[in-house]
Amino acid sequence: MTKALIEIKHLVKKFGDNVVLNDISETINQGDVIVVIGASGGGKSTFLRSLNLLNQPTSGEIDFEGTDLTSLSEKQLDQVREKMGMVFQQFNLFPNMTVLENIKLAPMKVKQADDAAATAKAQALLKQVGLEEKADAYPSSLSGGQMQRVAIARALAMEPDVMLFDEPTSALDPEMVGEVLKVMQDLAKSGMTMIVVTHEMGFAREVADQVWFMDAGVIAEKGTPEEIFTAPKEARTKDFLSKVLAQ
Amino acid sequence: MATPVHAADDSLAKVQQKGTLVMGTSPDYAPYEFLVNQHGKNVVVGMDVEIAKKIAKDIGVKLVIKQMDFDSLLVGLQTGKVDMVLSAMTPTDERRQSVDFSKIYYKGGQDIVVNKADAKVYKNHQSFVDKKVGAQTGSLQADLVKKQMPESSLLGLTKVTDLILALKSHKVEGVVMEEAVASAYVQNDNQLALIPGKFDLGSDENGTAIGFAKGSTSLVNAANRSIDAIQKQKLLPQYLKQAGRYMQTNTTNTSMFHYWRFFAKGIGYTLLITAISVLIGVVLGVFLALMRLGKVKVLHALAVAYIEFVRGTPLMIQVMFVYFGIGIFIDIPALIAGIIAVSLNSGAYVAEIIRGGIESIPVGQTEAARSLGLSQRLTMQTVVLPQALRNIWPALGNEFISLIKESSIVSIIGVTDLIYQLKVVQTATYKGVQPIIVAMVIYFVLTFGLSKLLGHYERKMKHDEGTN
């Protein structure tokens, strides 16, 4: 039994004359782990950022849990965004707050949680990502991998229904990629709906329910990891995979 | 338009009703008007003050003295800041166009002050061919130089004290001054000498009168009656003698330490104006910056217009506008007017500093906050502004330091800040350079000390939040 969580209808995004997303219609079901791959400039990040309207679509609909986000006011949108956790390539931790304060900020300010409850929750999440001893550290004293794990904990603190990952390991030194992917893998196992834009083909192969290959503003091909990695149908998919897997 | 003979204007009635007669004067012109220190307070004394007291007494009201720059006096009359102006003012035709004058109350000759060493070189006003001669800007003396000394070039300065300084440093060879003032300076400074001007003085241009707002006929008449009485009782020589005594007490101790209270008061006002203005400026600046960065077009346009206009006009004009311009509708004391003007000015500059600070915060910070469900307002309050303020702390400190210096412009409307007190001490001691050096050192100690202090806190803040 599958239930549609996000329905994307005829999504178009233009920057001036440049069409970045060209009429995308897809459905994401609850519990899906979708990995979006493709060459740079194919529109992957723009697609992901359109889902929570950080990028305003030029036309089309994003239906999230039955509501068309493009029709909402700014205020209503704030209430939806808290259910769509997002993790960025550049971590975007707040440098003026400790790790604990980073995680507690949104629960306390948006959900009006009291300090004790927010702290307990934050500490539990830090334990989940293996960083409970860093609660009082400032982001500047953390490694990239640690920062990204805090960012994941921060997004989880709002108890989102879906997590969006925008190239979460691209800014990391190679030795730190593993620790972040491990946290994401655990999250996938726990049943979280996830949409992950990444270049980590190993992660896609092991964790994804579906792999979407994006090129020139459309989802050029999609399927199970098995289908995409062992028997791609499209020429451009083959071309892309032969390049990344050759490395 | 025919004016009835018994045109009853209410200028006198108004003064009697409020019970005070406000005199505007620029007290840097001994023996007419100057400042002395009595029991630690600056008091305006001199011949003009005695005359004003007599007029006030005759119409049965209290005299209030407002100090301002000579150049601002007529504006003060027109905008109702003062009821009358006694400041050794000559009733020229130009001035008569904008204000009314009483009859002439004092006629003195026009003399020229020179360095003692040159006293034999110069005989009268015709001796200064191809030389530079000083006179007070906008004064009768400046007119005399222009008209009757065509082969000399004129250096116009606002303050007599500055003119004497220019003379001593040979920027000018002579200074044309009213007789009584000239003799006061020569008596108090043995490096100066007096030569007769021998100017061709017209009847009206030779003398001083009291200025009133246009149409204050009843008040002018009352003043004229008092002037008649003064002349009948021969009170002027007494007034001058009294002024002379004040000048001697003034010059007995001219050490700068003796005047420390003057400087201390000036520092107090300078810091007060600066501190309040920076506080208001930061609050105003935050709002302006948010308006400018916001999406509401009207607010954006308003903020841009305000910022550009304020930054595109001199602070001096803004100070005058607030005091005289807005003063037409509400009577604002000079100190408040000065603080308002400096605050409004500072707000525009702080707004740009804050805008720069906000724009320097990576867009990812906003995106992260918004993706967590924080509203635009909460994002600004909890994420962007705290970081922006930390980044711009040094720039805000610099703004505070430059305001200490720039706020000195409020002295033109008579706020007793450090610059104003410097001029008071110059006038009181007949010493030009020493007070300048003292004020300069004070300004430097203030700004340098503050920048060290701010630097200390800046490092401390960085330390507290870890290296970044």
Judging contacts by C-beta atoms under 8 Å, the chain A residues touching residue B378 are: 109-110
Whether residue A7 has pLDDT greater than 90: yes
Q: Which tokens sit at B244?
A: 């002379």
| Residue B246, pLDDT score | 80
What does the mean pLDDT of chain A come to? 92
| Residue A122, pLDDT score | 95
Cα dihedral A160, A164, A166, A167 sign: positive
> ipTM of the assembly?
0.92
Question: Best of B296, B367, B372, B383 to disrupt the A interface by mutation (most A CBs within 10 Å)?
Answer: B372
Distance from CA of A16 to the nearest CA of B (A): 20
* B51 Rama sector, left if φ>0, alpha if ψ -120 to 50, beta otherwise: alpha
Contact B371 A105 (CB under 8 A): no
Distance from CA of B428 to the nearest CA of A (A): 55
Whether residue B38 has pLDDT greater than 50: yes
CB atoms within 10 A of CB A48: 20
Q: Which residue has the higher pLDDT, A6 or B142?
A: A6
User: Does A13 touch chain B if contact means CB atoms closer than 8 Å?
Assistant: no
Contact A141 B466 (CB under 8 A): yes
| Residue B433, pLDDT score | 81
Judging contacts by C-beta atoms under 8 Å, the chain A residues touching residue B368 are: 86, 88, 92-94, 151
| Residue B5, pLDDT score | 42
| Residue B249, pLDDT score | 60
Across the range A24-51, mean pLDDT stands at 92
Domain boundaries, chain A: 94-159
| Residue A247, pLDDT score | 63
Contact A110 B378 (CB under 8 A): yes
User: Does A159 touch chain B if contact means CB atoms closer than 8 Å?
Assistant: no
Whether residue A27 has pLDDT greater than 80: yes
Q: Which residue type occupies B302?
A: L
Contact B372 A81 (CB under 8 A): yes
User: Does A106 touch chain B if contact means CB atoms closer than 8 Å?
Assistant: yes
pLDDT above 90: percentage of residues in chain B:
32
| Residue B67, pLDDT score | 87
Where residue B85 falls among pLDDT bands split at 50, 70, 90? very high
- The residues of B whose Cβ lies within 8 A of any Cβ of A are 362, 364-365, 367-376, 378, 382-383, 386-387, 390, 465-468
Return d(Cα A77, Cα A61) in angstroms, integer: 14
User: Does A98 touch chain B if contact means CB atoms closer than 8 Å?
Assistant: no
When mean pLDDT is compared across A196-200, B82-86, B420-424, the lowest value belongs to: B420-424
Return d(Cα B418, Cα B426) in angstroms, integer: 12
Whether residue B204 has pLDDT greater than 60: no
Whether residue A150 has pLDDT greater than 90: yes
Return d(Cα B334, Cα B410) in angstroms, integer: 8
Contact B371 A155 (CB under 8 A): yes
Whether residue B107 has pLDDT greater than 60: yes
Where residue B456 falls among pLDDT bands split at 50, 70, 90? confident
When mean pLDDT is compared across A39-53, B230-244, B297-311, the lowest value belongs to: B230-244
Across the range A32-58, mean pLDDT stands at 92
Across the range B357-379, mean pLDDT stands at 93
Q: Is A11 exposed, middle or buried (0-12, 13-18, 19+ CB in 10 A)?
A: buried
Whether residue A33 has pLDDT greater than 60: yes
Whether residue B250 has pLDDT greater than 60: no
Across the range B21-38, mean pLDDT stands at 86
B47, B236 contact by CB (below 8 A): yes
Return d(Cα B171, Cα B106) in angstroms, integer: 31
Cβ-nearest to B372 among A95, A96, A106? A106
Model pTM? Answer: 0.69
Task: Please name the residue of chain A whose CA is at the shortest distance from the CA of residue B468.
Answer: A140
When mean pLDDT is compared across A217-226, B43-52, B91-100, B453-462, the lowest value belongs to: B453-462
Whether residue B174 has pLDDT greater than 90: yes
pLDDT tens for A110-127 read 999 999 999 999 999 999
Task: Please name the residue of chain A whose CA is at the shortest distance from the CA of residue B366.
Answer: A92
Where residue A83 falls among pLDDT bands split at 50, 70, 90? very high
State the SS3 of A159-171: CCCEEEEECCCCC
Cβ-nearest to B364 among A81, A90, A140? A90
pLDDT tens for B415-437 read 778 888 887 777 777 677 888 88
Sequence-ordered list of residues with C-beta below 8 angstroms from that of B159, at least 6 positions apart, any chain: B28, B136, B423, B426, B427
Return d(Cα B354, Cα B376) in angstroms, integer: 17
Q: Which residue type occupies B3?
A: T
Q: Measured between alpha carbons, how far apart are the two ends of chain A, in Å?
A: 39
Sequence-ordered list of residues with C-beta below 8 angstroms from that of B229, at least 6 positions apart, any chain: B54, B58, B235
Cβ-nearest to B468 among A79, A86, A140? A140
Return d(Cα A132, Cα A172) in angstroms, integer: 21
When mean pLDDT is compared across B209-213, B309-313, B317-321, the lowest value belongs to: B317-321
Q: Measured between alpha carbons, how far apart are the two ends of chain B, in Å?
A: 77
User: Does A79 touch chain B if contact means CB atoms closer than 8 Å?
Assistant: yes
Cβ-nearest to B373 among A79, A96, A137? A79
Where residue B467 falls among pLDDT bands split at 50, 70, 90? very low
A·B CB contacts under 8 A: 80
| Residue B371, pLDDT score | 94
Contact B367 A90 (CB under 8 A): no
